[in-house]
Amino acid sequence: MVRRWSPEEIGAPVGQYSHLAAVPAGTELLFISGQIGALPDGRMAGPDAERQTRQIYENIAALLAAAGAGPRDLVRLFTMVAGAEHVAGSRAGRADAFAAWFPEGDWPAHSLIVVSALASPDILVEVEAVAAVPAR
């Protein structure tokens, strides 16, 4: 099981993340490419950051399941938001997934940056992930 914590020697996290995450022996790292809010048919889940982010976390859950893993195996997330005006929507879209996935507040390491644009003007949020899965 991935171990996550925030030592008292530094300030508490300012958001939903842990300062540290450690991967147990006997696991392999799974790198999930940047996910966008695309539905299975390729259409965007919506024109706003909240709906796109909700879909991103559904996509990440599906990818983890395909690898025999789940949210408990997440080590790190990296979120890119196209413009500061979309940060609140992205956080709102993440809220339900984090509440279900990490009810005890045992969040993975996570960084969020605001960028001027992503790969296409209709993409407002992109999230990369790293998980630790049992070695095959």
- Domain boundaries of the chain, sorted by first residue: 30-134
- Provide the residue count of the chain: 136
Task: Please tell me whether residue 125 adopts helix, strand or coil conformation.
Answer: strand
Tokens, residue 98: 């984090």
pLDDT at 1: 83
φ, ψ of residue 93 in degrees (nearest 5): -70, -25
Class of domain 30-134: alpha beta
pLDDT at 22: 92
Dist. CA 89–CA 91, nearest whole Å: 5
Dist. CA 76–CA 1, nearest whole Å: 14
DSSP annotation of 38 reads B
pLDDT tens across the length of the chain (136 residues): 899 999 999 999 999 999 999 999 999 999 999 999 999 999 999 999 999 999 999 999 999 999 999 999 999 999 999 999 999 999 999 999 999 999 999 999 999 999 999 999 999 999 999 999 988 7
pLDDT at 21: 94
